[in-house]
C-alpha cells in the first residue's frame, strides 16, 4: 500500500505533471520520466502500478490520432506480439520484490536511453532486415518493460529507423506504448502484483499528467524543442545514474 500522506500525494502529482510536460513537448517520455521520478519515492513495482492508467490514457489518445492503425498492425504484429510476451515474462523480477536489482536496472535503462538519444546518429532498417529483426526487438523491449516499467528501449529508435512518415511514426509509437502498458498490467496481475487498491490513485494521476501535457504543448511553442530535449536528456541521464548507483550505497 502506498503512503497517502499529503507530502507523498503532492510528490506523485508533481512527478506525473513533469512527465506530462515532457510528453507534451517531445511526444514521448511520460513513463520514462514518471518511473525515474517515482523511483526516488516508491519501489519499482509500486511506481509501475501507478503508471498504468495515466500511461494508458495518454497512449491510447496518441494511438487513435492517426489513420493507419490497421496497416501498422499488419506490418508490426510480430514486434507487438513479442513485446506482449516479453513484458509478461519480464514482470517476474518486479513481482518478485527484487527492488535493489530492479531499481538499478531502471537507472541503467534511463542512462542507456538518454545517452543513446543524445549521441546516436539516425540509421535505417531495410524491409529485408525488418522481416527478421522486428520480433527480437519486440522481445527485448518487452523484457526491459517488464523488469523496469520503461517502454522505450530499443523500440523507439527501431521504429524511428523504419522510415515511417511523421503521422505513422507517432501512431506506431502509440501502438507500442499502449500494448506495453496493457501487457505490464496483465503481467503484474498474473503474478499477483497488480495492486487494485492503487487504481484510484493511478486514476487521479491522470489529471496532473494531462495538465502537464497541456503545459508542455504551451512550452513547445515558446522554446526550441531541440534545446528542451537536450537538457531533458542530460537530466534524465543524471537521474538514471543516481538510481543505478543508489541501491549499492
**Long-range pairs for 203-207 at CB < 8 Å and ≥24 separation?**
203/53, 205/12, 205/13, 205/16, 205/50, 205/53, 205/54, 206/53, 206/54, 206/57, 207/13
Question: What pLDDT score was predicted for residue 179?
Answer: 93
**What distance separates the 2 farthest-apart alpha carbons in the chain?**
54
Question: What pLDDT score was predicted for residue 141?
Answer: 92
Question: What pLDDT score was predicted for residue 183?
Answer: 94
Q: From the centroid of its chain, how far is CA 141? A: 10
Q: What is the 8-class DSSP label of residue 197?
A: G
Residue 47 — φ and ψ, nearest 5°?
-65, -40
| Rg for the chain, CA atoms, rounded | 17
As given in the structure block, the three cell numbers for residue 227 are 534545446
Q: Sketch the domain layout of the chain as residue ranges.
A: 6-241
Q: Does the pTM of the predicted model rise above 0.85?
A: no
In SS3 terms, 149-193 reads as CCCCCCHHHHHHCCCCCHHHHHHHHHHHHHHHHHHHHHHHHHCCC
Question: What pLDDT score was predicted for residue 247?
Answer: 61
Q: What is the 8-class DSSP label of residue 133?
A: H
Could you give the CA distance from residue 168 to residue 184 in angstroms, rounded to a whole number?
Answer: 24
Question: What pLDDT score was predicted for residue 246?
Answer: 64
Could you give the CA distance from residue 217 to residue 115 in angstroms, rounded to a whole number?
Answer: 25
The answer to whether the CB of 198 falls within 8 A of the CB of 46 is: yes
Question: What pLDDT score was predicted for residue 151?
Answer: 81
Reading the chain (249 residues) residue by residue, the pLDDT tens digits are: 565 678 888 889 999 999 888 887 776 778 878 887 887 778 777 888 888 899 888 888 778 766 788 899 999 999 999 999 999 998 887 776 555 676 677 778 778 878 887 887 767 888 889 999 999 999 999 998 888 887 878 888 898 889 888 778 878 888 998 999 999 999 988 888 777 777 888 899 999 999 998 888 788 778 776 777 777 778 778 877 877 776 665
Amino acid at each position: 500500500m502506498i503512503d497517502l500522506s499529503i507530502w507523498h500525494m503532492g510528490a506523485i502529482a508533481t512527478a506525473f505533471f513533469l512527465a506530462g510536460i515532457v510528453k507534451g513537448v517531445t511526444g514521448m517520455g511520460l513513463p520514462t520520466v514518471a518511473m525515474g521520478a517515482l523511483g526516488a519515492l516508491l519501489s519499482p513495482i509500486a511506481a509501475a502500478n501507478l503508471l498504468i492508467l495515466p500511461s494508458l490514457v495518454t497512449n491510447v489518445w496518441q494511438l487513435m490520432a492517426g489513420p493507419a492503425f490497421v496497416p501498422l498492425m499488419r506490418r508490426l504484429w510480430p514486434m507487438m506480439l513479442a513485446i506482449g510476451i516479453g513484458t509478461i515474462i519480464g514482470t517476474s523480477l518486479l513481482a518478485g520484490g527484487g527492488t535493489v536489482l530492479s531499481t538499478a536496472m531502471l537507472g541503467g535503462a534511463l542512462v542507456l536511453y538518454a545517452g543513446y538519444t543524445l549521441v546516436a546518429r539516425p540509421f535505417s532498417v531495410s524491409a529485408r532486415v525488418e522481416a527478421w529483426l522486428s520480433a527480437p526487438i519486440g522481445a527485448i523491449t518487452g523484457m526491459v518493460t517488464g523488469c523496469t516499467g520503461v517502454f522505450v528501449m530499443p523500440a523507439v529508435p527501431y521504429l524511428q529507423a523504419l522510415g515511417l512518415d511523421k503521422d505513422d511514426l507517432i501512431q506506431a509509437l502509440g501502438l507500442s506504448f499502449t500494448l506495453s502498458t496493457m501487457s505490464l498490467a496483465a503481467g503484474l496481475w498474473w503474478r499477483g502484483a497488480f495492486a487494485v487498491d492503487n487504481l484510484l490513485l493511478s486514476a487521479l494521476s491522470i489529471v496532473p499528467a494531462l495538465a502537464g501535457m497541456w503545459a508542455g504543448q504551451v512550452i513547445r511553442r515558446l522554446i526550441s524543442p531541440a534545446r528542451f530535449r537536450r537538457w531533458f536528456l542530460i537530466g534524465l541521464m543524471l537521474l538514471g545514474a543516481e538510481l543505478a548507483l543508489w541501491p549499492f550505497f
